[in-house]
């Protein structure tokens, strides 16, 4: 029954009701003898009316009254009046912890003092053999002075008495739910505290979201159940969400028993030591859980901090720069020696490392994936309805879904709040908000094969050109501005930017000479970037202080000291055989929550495959190649194929003999020698090399003899495209700092190899091919906003005709000049008839020949085409072998460098 104001229970005068809890109604009252305010908790009828249970409660209350601790709400006694039996308790002012969490997650420096006081309360009770059994935020109050008071200690057991095993429990609607097939003794049953539940035999105890698995199964519990509940409460404090939750009791209990918490919900700034405590508290098997809450308290108080600093570096909050570690002195070494037992203890507390496989649909670009900063989602590129696009995979589900409007997408990256995705498509940088709507174009970005990074202040970093500096643009769009400066001839390109958590500093990769290329640290504030280390890929930040990157095919981590702008310590292995693409994108991704995703093997092997006009595979050229094989070019006599091939990070020109078989290396420089083009007589091969810093044009006899000749020397990057049939003109593109790639030709008949322009606009002009009679040049341009194939006369310029419709790249001529082939955006090989008379040119309607699985698809503006056309009309296509996803993405959790050391 409800008590009205003025009701007297012995010396206590009721003032007002202040709550309804799982143990009964709670009132504020005045102790008229001692002139103090107290809390009166009226016992449920199921206890007050049962003599045996009441006697048991009396005995338990006597034990509880013996507890005397500043963090435990005291029990003053039992009172009875007019058949009402009530427990008199200390009145604790202030909000409950549940009220505080309702306003959001609690910062780590505020949460830890609260957690330590809760642990002290549990420790004091456990020492007296008392288990709380119903620890939850609603049973914890935080006074205005910061003092924590834990309420209802031991009452779950006291109220329970000898309730029968398998008693049904009451759901939120007040109905007894035996049909849910969850059996609990009353002392351990799940509670949803609503007024409907405060009824006789329907009374239940405990709270489902904080119950340990053994408690949820109805088994006997000990103090380790409180340790579990403590972990659940601390998790909720830090994340603002429960570690185990559901729409009803049954679903919640199922999560407790079978599911793991979503650890990525913890803030990225959560110290490793705190994560370790949480994960050891929330071990489902009691034997694997921490055995003593005192150990938890010591860890939270930093008792092992000196020792732990030798095995882990923690940070309570990102404050603009990473914590730096002073050099260890002789005294510190002595401390370390004395701390060996603590070291062993901290290592035991670290959660076990976990690696989980994530399968994705087949994709020809297996390195293009990204983890959301909160660690909840994976986005990746894979085909969909004939065109590459973005797919989204929630990590707590097995289903994936395509993202509308992302056809032709490449290189996705996330916004800091995990609500939007940036990507590249059709020569533009775009963003897609996951809340809905079409993608928004932010800027022209010709370097579609580079990737971007989204900072906390709304700045996006990206590379506008394949060989150029990094630019910045607002996440709302606008005119990009150049951020970094190149250092020719040492450095000719910046790419793969990644912001650090402070939003001001960022990592990026620099292309250049061997001594200058590698991983750099830059700042939005400007200044000269700092080279951190030689590397094969860009880097990513792994909290709390590690930088992850690929070096010689191995994914490694090193600690970043931001104050000195250096990487310290030896590299620590994360995974083997992690690939890197031609644009320094490594096959890995890192979330701000601390998870690492990677794909071992770097994707499928490549195979040069012959196709006839209907699209039937009619043979192969060479063997499947696990190396990065690119840009095949058939020799004029049809006996050899030149290509770019990267072996152990070194790119060179290689020649495949189609008659005798076998592969031979043509160039041997330690720099990148790429993009070969045959002379019309087949005696020479032109290529591009950055052996002096900038990619310049070179030439070498195709039989391997003689010396290599440098054809031109200028500060801008150049890549050869084609050689005119008469051997006089070598067409190439040159990267201009403002206009991007433009087409030029070298006069190979002139002693000085004089250059003249072919196409030079503010748009991109690239992948040029001479007609068989040398009178026309086909190339692709994004003048219309997307890449299309056009034809213009040569050597005269001015007029041009568009050949493709609906997008097109990588044009090639048929041997008789009466047809042009190109790739549609969905990688379908297209053909269009051509007619030329005098200075006039006419193109027919493009017709689809067959879909391809060509490397890089039909949407990426590469240096050279990934297919070639033989004189007999067959197509030699560079394509992956089998499914590129034969190697799944691995999700690495709970990794620490200390565990590896």
Q: Please list the active-site residues.
A: 134
User: Collapsing DSSP states into helix, strand and coil, what is residue 90?
Assistant: strand
Length reported for the chain: 901
Report CA-CA distances (Å) from 685 to 640, 643, 652, 722: 12, 11, 12, 11
Instruction: For residue 614, count other CB atoms closer than 10 A to its CB.
Output: 8
**Cα–Cα distance, 416 to 401 (Å, whole number):** 22
Q: Is the bond preceding 544 in cis, omega lying within 30 degrees of 0?
A: yes
CA 604 to chain centroid, in Å, comes to 22
For residue 86, report the phi and psi dihedrals to the nearest 5 degrees: -140, 155
The DSSP code for 375 is S
**What sign has the CA pseudo-torsion 102, 300, 219, 203?**
negative
DSSP assignment of 120-139: HHHHHHHHTT---S---GGG
**Cα–Cα distance, 710 to 489 (Å, whole number):** 15
**Cα–Cα distance, 783 to 225 (Å, whole number):** 67
CA terminus-to-terminus distance, the chain: 64
Residues 6 or more apart in contact with residue 527 via CB below 8 angstroms: none
Residues 6 or more apart in contact with residue 242 via CB below 8 angstroms: 209, 232, 235, 236
CA-wise closest residue to 733 among 788, 699, 691, 696: 696
Do residues 892 and 354 lie in contact, with contact meaning Cβ atoms separated by under 8 Å?
Answer: yes
- Write out the two tokens for 245: 């939750």
Do residues 842 and 351 lie in contact, with contact meaning Cβ atoms separated by under 8 Å?
Answer: no
**Cα–Cα distance, 610 to 616 (Å, whole number):** 8
**Cα–Cα distance, 528 to 494 (Å, whole number):** 13
Report CA-CA distances (Å) from 854 to 138, 287, 454, 493, 877: 60, 54, 30, 26, 6
**Cα–Cα distance, 168 to 437 (Å, whole number):** 48
**Cα–Cα distance, 539 to 550 (Å, whole number):** 8
Report CA-CA distances (Å) from 809 to 464, 741, 806, 822, 856: 18, 15, 11, 6, 12
CA-wise closest residue to 590 among 538, 649, 553, 554: 538
Instruction: For residue 187, count other CB atoms closer than 10 A to its CB.
Output: 22
**What sign has the CA pseudo-torsion 880, 883, 886, 890?**
positive
Given strand 788-793, what is the order of strands in its sheet? 765-770, 776-781, 788-793, 801-802
293-300 vs 272-281: helix axis angle to the nearest 10? 170
**Cα–Cα distance, 313 to 305 (Å, whole number):** 9
The DSSP code for 164 is P
Beta-strand pair 36-42/75-81: unpaired
Do residues 226 and 214 lie in contact, with contact meaning Cβ atoms separated by under 8 Å?
Answer: no
CA-wise closest residue to 465 among 485, 446, 481, 493: 446
The DSSP code for 446 is S
DSSP bridge partners of 868? 876
């Amino acid at each position: 029954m409800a008590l009205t104001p003025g009701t007297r229970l012995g010396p206590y005068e009721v003032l007002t009701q202040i709550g309804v809890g799982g143990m009964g109604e709670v009132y504020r009252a005045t102790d008229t003898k001692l002139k103090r305010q107290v809390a009166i908790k009226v016992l449920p009828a199921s206890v007050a009316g049962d003599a045996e249970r009441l006697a048991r409660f009396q005995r338990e209350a006597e034990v509880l009254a013996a507890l005397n601790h500043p963090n435990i709400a005291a029990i003053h006694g039992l009172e009875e009046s007019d058949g009402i039996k009530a427990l008199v308790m200390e009145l604790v002012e202030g909000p409950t912890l549940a009220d505080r969490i309702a306003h959001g997650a609690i910062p780590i420096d505020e949460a830890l003092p609260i957690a330590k006081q809760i642990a002290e309360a549990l420790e004091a009770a456990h020492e007296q053999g008392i288990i709380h059994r119903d620890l939850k935020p609603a049973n914890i109050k935080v006074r205005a002075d910061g003092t924590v008071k834990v309420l209802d200690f031991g009452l779950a057991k006291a109220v329970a008495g000898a309730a029968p095993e398998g008693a049904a429990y009451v759901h939120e609607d007040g109905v007894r739910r035996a049909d849910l097939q969850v059996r609990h003794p009353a002392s351990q049953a799940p509670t949803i505290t609503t007024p409907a539940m405060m009824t006789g035999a329907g009374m239940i105890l405990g709270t489902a979201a904080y119950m340990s698995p053994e408690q949820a199964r109805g088994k006997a519990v000990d103090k380790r159940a409180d340790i579990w509940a403590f972990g659940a409460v601390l998790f909720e404090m830090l994340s603002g969400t429960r570690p185990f939750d559901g729409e009803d009791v049954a679903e919640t209990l199922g999560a407790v028993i079978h599911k793991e918490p979503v650890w990525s919900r913890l803030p990225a700034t959560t110290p490793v030591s705190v994560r370790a405590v949480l994960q050891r508290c929330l071990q489902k098997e009691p034997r694997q859980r921490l055995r003593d809450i005192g150990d938890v308290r010591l860890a939270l108080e930093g008792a092992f901090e000196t020792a732990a600093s030798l095995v882990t570096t923690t940070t309570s909050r990102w404050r603009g720069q990473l914590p730096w570690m002073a050099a260890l002195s002789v005294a510190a070494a002595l401390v370390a020696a004395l701390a060996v037992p603590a070291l062993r203890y901290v290592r035991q507390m670290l959660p076990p490392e976990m690696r989980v496989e994530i399968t994705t649909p087949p994709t020809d670009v297996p390195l293009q994936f990204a983890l959301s900063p909160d660690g909840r989602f994976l986005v990746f590129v894979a085909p969909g309805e004939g065109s590459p696009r973005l797919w989204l995979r929630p990590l707590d589900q097995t289903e994936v879904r395509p993202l509308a409007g992302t056809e032709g997408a490449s290189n996705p990256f996330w916004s800091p709040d995990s609500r939007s995705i940036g990507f590249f498509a059709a020569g533009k940088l775009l963003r897609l908000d996951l809340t809905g709507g079409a993608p928004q174009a932010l800027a022209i970005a010709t370097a579609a094969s580079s990737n971007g990074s989204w900072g906390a202040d709304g700045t996006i970093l990206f590379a506008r050109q394949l060989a150029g500096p990094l630019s910045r643009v607002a996440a709302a769009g606008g005119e990009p501005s150049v951020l970094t400066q190149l250092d020719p001839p040492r450095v000719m390109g910046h790419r793969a930017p990644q912001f650090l958590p402070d939003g001001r500093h960022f990592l990026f990769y620099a292309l250049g000479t061997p001594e200058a290329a590698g991983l750099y640290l830059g700042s939005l504030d400007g200044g000269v970037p700092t080279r951190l280390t030689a590397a094969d890929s860009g880097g990513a930040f792994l909290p709390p202080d590690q930088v992850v990157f690929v070096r010689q095919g191995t994914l490694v981590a090193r600690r970043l000291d931001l104050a000195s702008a250096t990487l310290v310590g030896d590299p620590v292995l994360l995974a083997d055989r992690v690939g890197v693409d031609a644009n320094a994108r490594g096959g890995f991704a890192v979330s701000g929550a601390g998870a690492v995703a990677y794909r071992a093997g770097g994707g499928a092997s490549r195979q040069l495959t012959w196709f006839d006009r209907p699209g039937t595979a009619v043979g192969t050229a060479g063997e499947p190649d696990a190396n990065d094989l690119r840009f095949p070019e058939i020799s004029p006599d049809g006996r050899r194929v030149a290509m770019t091939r990267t072996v152990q990070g070194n790119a060179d020109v290689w020649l495949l003999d189609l008659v005798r078989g076998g592969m031979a290396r043509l160039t041997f420089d330690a720099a990148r020698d790429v993009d070969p083009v045959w002379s019309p007589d087949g005696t020479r091969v032109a290529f591009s090399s950055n052996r002096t810093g900038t990619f310049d044009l070179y030439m070498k006899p195709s039989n391997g003899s003689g010396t290599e000749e440098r054809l031109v020397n200028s500060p801008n990057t150049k890549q050869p495209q084609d050689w005119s049939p008469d051997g006089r003109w070598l067409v190439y593109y040159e990267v201009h700092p403002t206009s991007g790639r433009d087409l030029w030709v070298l006069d190979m008949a002139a002693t000085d190899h004089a250059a003249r322009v072919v196409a030079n606009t503010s748009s991109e002009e690239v992948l040029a091919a001479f007609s068989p009679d040398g009178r026309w040049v086909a190339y692709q341009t994004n003048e219309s906003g997307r890449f299309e194939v056009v034809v213009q006369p040569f050597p005269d310029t001015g007029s041009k005709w568009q050949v493709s419709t609906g997008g097109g790249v990588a044009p090639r001529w048929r041997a008789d000049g009466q047809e042009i082939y190109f790739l549609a955006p969905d990688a379908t090989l297209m053909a269009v008839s051509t007619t030329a008379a005098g200075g006039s040119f006419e193109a027919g309607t493009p017709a689809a020949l067959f879909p391809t699985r060509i490397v890089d698809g039909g949407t990426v503006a590469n240096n050279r085409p990934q297919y070639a056309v033989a004189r007999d009309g067959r197509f030699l296509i560079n394509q992956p072998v089998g499914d590129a996803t034969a190697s799944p993405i691995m999700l690495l959790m709970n990794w620490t460098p200390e565990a590896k050391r």
